Amino acid sequence: MNLEVRHANLNDLATLTEIETICFPASEAADAEKIKSRIEAFPEGFSVLTGDEKIIGFINGIRSESAVLTDEMFENANLHDRNGSYLMILSLAVSPEFRGKGYGKLLLRHITECAWEEHLKGVTLTCKPELVGFYEKSGFRNHGKSDSVHGGFEWYEMRKTF
């Protein structure tokens, strides 16, 4: 399979929304309008992985001066601060038929390398307890339980600093 990582564009919106809806519970998933606003607010922070030109998965975020990811950031892409020192990952999703092949790790590595090349201080994300180990294997440090109540779930704050 010919893999490529590229920036998302609005032509991808329907497929990105479908993947987001499949990968996350309804209370947590971003709808088409939120995904569109993330692409428009920070297109360089929205990466898509394709295989033979089919979208396999994606990762997106915004920049912030704060190292702490807040629930408001999930809801409002206009909180993106183009001069922010941290990249906040809002979503990492891989279509179920492509899971277990390392594509999530590839997207995570891609976005963290981009943040490092931009001389940011680090990358922050929140995850459910069962995913802490996955992110630790990618160099993220567990900063404990987050204040987040996004989607009604318990979250842990993970950060990779440079």
Q: For 9-19, how does the pLDDT look when each residue is reduced to its tens digit (9 = 90+)?
A: 999 999 999 99
What's the average model confidence in pLDDT over 89-115?
A: 97
What's the average model confidence in pLDDT over 42-51?
A: 97
Residue 66 — very low, low, confident or very high, per pLDDT cuts 50/70/90? very high
- The confidence score (pLDDT) of residue 51 equals 95
- Number of domains the chain contains: 1
76 CB-contact burial (10 Å; exposed 0-12 / middle 13-18 / buried 19+): middle
Domain that holds residue 85: 3-161
- The confidence score (pLDDT) of residue 1 equals 83
Q: What is the pTM of this model?
A: 0.95
Q: What is the mean pLDDT of the chain?
A: 97
The percentage of the chain sitting over the pLDDT mark of 70, rounded to a whole number, equals 100
Retrieve residue 86's tokens: 């941290």
What's the average model confidence in pLDDT over 47-73?
A: 97
Residue 94 — very low, low, confident or very high, per pLDDT cuts 50/70/90? very high
C-alpha dihedral (100, 152, 66, 62), degrees to nearest 10: 50
How far apart CA 139 and CA 119 sit, in angstroms, is 17
CATH number at residue 120: 3.40.630.30
Retrieve residue 57's tokens: 């998965």
